[in-house]
Structure 1
Amino acid sequence: MEPGLSTTLTDTDLATAKQKVTDALDEQGFGVLTEIDVQATMKKKLDEDMETFTILGACNPHIAHRALGVRPQIGMLLPCNVVIRADTADDTGRTLIVEAMNPDLMGSVTGEQALTPIAAEAGELLRRAIATIAAP
């Protein structure tokens, strides 16, 4: 099982990528609850420079509600993190990688069989969002 779902965006900037990711997630019923600018945080807290790195906390409330009803501790794995980060192999800074946690991990980490169909649904929706992001 892959730990994440990903795609690469070329010739783009962070603002454009964030909008594309947010729109694709919204189309699949996810909202962005949190945004962490890791690059700015590392600069502020450690005075360290790093490449573009943003974490969006995405949540589909219907799926989250069902998962929490099966096992409240699943909240430790929510929201679904979606990362937008610079491809460090590209020195132009115009290639960004978008990665999302594979929700199938919820079932495998907990061993809770009742989470399997819920995780599969979340995974399918995130895969659709990633496919939309990857589309030209």
Structure 2
Amino acid sequence: MTVPANSAYTIDRSVEGSFEGVVDQTTDALAEEGFGVLCDIDVQHKFEEKLDEEFPRYRILGACNPPLAHQALDEEFLLGTLLPCNVIVYEMGDGSVGVSAVDPETMLSVVDDSDLDVIATEVKTRLQNVLNALPAA
């Protein structure tokens, strides 16, 4: 499996440390930026359990900043279909751990509501702060 360096819809960082340590550091950094983790999906475990397939360690953290989510939902009621903000932690082929977050500016561009631009920028800044708080590989 080839891990892409980045994508047009994510913000990314290669991180130094153990996989579980990076998950914990990411969760802590999210909390520092006002995000709680609403769900934690262990994709590797689910694929093994449900499909009997091997997959690298890969966790999806569903992160939510309640004040910003409330503000966004007040503006665009159906926006809940795009929430929470997903942050993934995954094994990279070179032994490092990748952390990627959805780019909220890109994601919210599909809504076509310019009043959401300020919120999207705020969320992106906070998610970039989370990634910057992690030790670079």
TM-score scaled to structure 1, two decimals? 0.90
2:65 to 60, 67, 81: 60
What percent of counterpart residues are identical?
Answer: 37
For 1:82, the aligned partner's letter is V
For 1:117, the aligned partner's letter is V
* Distance of 1:135 and 1:86 partners within structure 2: 14
* Distance of 1:17 and 1:30 partners within structure 2: 16
1:132 aligns with 2:133: yes
Q: Which runs of 5+ in 1 are unaligned?
A: none
Secondary structure, in 3 states, of the residue corresponding to 2:133?
A: helix
* Distance of 2:107 and 2:22 partners within structure 1: 27
- What is the aligned partner in structure 1 of residue 4 from structure 2? none
TM-score scaled to structure 2, two decimals? 0.90
- Retained in 2: the 8 A contact 1:33–1:56? yes
- What is the aligned partner in structure 2 of residue 78 from structure 1? 83
1:16 to 14, 18, 21: 21
Secondary structure, in 3 states, of the residue corresponding to 2:99?
A: strand
For 1:58, the aligned partner's letter is A
- What is the aligned partner in structure 2 of residue 108 from structure 1? 109
- What is the aligned partner in structure 1 of residue 8 from structure 2? 2
Secondary structure, in 3 states, of the residue corresponding to 2:110?
A: helix
Q: Which runs of 5+ in 2 are unaligned?
A: 1-6
| Runs of 4+ deviating beyond 4 Å | none
